[in-house]
């Protein structure tokens, strides 16, 4: 039995997210599993490093699956990219140890969120960014980022209901980069809670636009109440850039 690791890039506009949903063919996982079944003749379940939301994108999603197939990795990547939709691309196929698990072995991830800040929307960027036509104070946003970096309980920055699992995560770095009308915020951490990046971004935009003070970050950490944080902004600006393994 072989264990195969996939590195995947996809445009999530047409899909209901990563996770397979019953018989729906509108998920990334479902599309890939169907083509792997055609390729191997086996009923395959692929394991992703994590879920991405409906409409979100990935430049470096990672998944693995077990197979008895004797096809080479070169033959696999050629078959997959020939028959998958053009908005799903397999960037790498690799044999890995039997113990490799795309989700449990991940040590960190980088997400990037894109915001279109011009007053006039973009016909081209609309599927890959959130239109927020407001002048932003990047200095205040960077001050807020300094408070977010480190090890904290991020429960207040998530849409999780009550959970017995730890909601403590470590954000290692946040970078804000303005490229003309496009604002990019990259967040690297050891793990992320449900909707955590989108809520952090909603909070940062409210700080940058003067709707809330920088110090509200401290209050959210202290109170751990979702309603204290910013809105959950739309998924189309979100990209999973890279998944890290030791």
Q: Give the model's pLDDT for residue 162.
A: 73
Catalytic one among 53, 139, 153, 228?
53
Q: Give the model's pLDDT for residue 189.
A: 98
CA distance 120 to 123: 10
Q: Give the model's pLDDT for residue 25.
A: 76
- Locate CATH 3.30.70.660 in the chain: 107-245
Q: Give the model's pLDDT for residue 23.
A: 64
CA distance 16 to 55: 7
Fold classification of 107-245 (topology level): Alpha-Beta Plaits (3.30.70)
- Locate CATH 3.30.70.580 in the chain: 2-96
Instruction: Tell me how far apart the terminal alpha carbons of the chain are, to the nearest angstrom.
Output: 23
List the one residue out of 21, 26, 34 whose CA is nearest residue 10: 26
- 98 among known catalytic residues: no
Taking domain 2-96, whether its CATH number is 3.30.365.10 is answered by no
Cα–chain-centroid distance for residue 117? 21
> Exposed (0-12), middle (13-18) or buried (19+): which is 191, by Cβ within 10 Å?
middle
List the one residue out of 240, 9, 216 whose CA is nearest residue 111: 240
**Which helix (H) or strand (E) segment is 216 a member of?**
helix 216-223
Q: Give the model's pLDDT for residue 73.
A: 98
pLDDT in tens, the chain (246 residues): 999 999 999 999 999 999 988 766 799 999 999 999 999 999 999 999 999 999 999 999 999 999 999 999 999 999 999 999 999 999 999 999 999 999 999 999 999 999 999 999 999 999 999 999 999 999 999 999 999 999 999 999 999 887 789 999 999 999 999 999 999 999 999 999 999 999 999 999 999 999 999 999 999 999 999 999 999 999 999 999 999 999
pTM over 0.85? The answer is yes
Angle between helices 138-148 and 216-223 (to 10 degrees): 30
């Amino acid at each position: 039995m072989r264990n195969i690791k996939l590195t995947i890039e996809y445009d999530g506009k047409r899909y209901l997210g990563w996770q397979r949903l019953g018989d729906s063919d509108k998920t990334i996982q479902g599309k890939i599993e169907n083509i792997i079944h055609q390729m191997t003749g086996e009923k395959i379940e692929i394991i992703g490093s994590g879920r991405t939301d409906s409409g979100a994108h990935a430049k470096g999603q990672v998944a693995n699956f077990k197979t008895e197939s004797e096809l080479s990795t070169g033959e696999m990547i050629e078959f997959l990219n020939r028959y998958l939709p053009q908005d799903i691309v397999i960037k790498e196929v690799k044999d890995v140890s039997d113990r490799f698990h795309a989700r449990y072995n991940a040590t960190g991830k980088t997400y990037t969120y894109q915001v279109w800040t011009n007053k006039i929307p973009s016909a081209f960027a609309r599927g890959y960014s959130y239109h927020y036509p407001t002048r932003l104070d990047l200095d205040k946003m960077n001050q807020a980022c300094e408070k977010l970096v480190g090890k904290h309980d991020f429960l207040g920055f998530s849409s999780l209901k009550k959970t017995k699992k730890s909601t403590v995560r470590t954000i290692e770095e946040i970078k804000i980069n303005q490229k003309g009308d496009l604002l990019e915020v990259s967040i690297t951490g050891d793990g992320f809670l449900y909707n955590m990046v989108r809520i952090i971004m909603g909070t940062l935009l409210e700080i940058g636009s003067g709707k809330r003070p920088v110090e509200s970050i401290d209050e959210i950490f202290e109170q751990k109440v979702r309603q204290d944080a910013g809105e959950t902004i739309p998924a189309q600006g979100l990209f999973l850039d890279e998944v890290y393994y030791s």
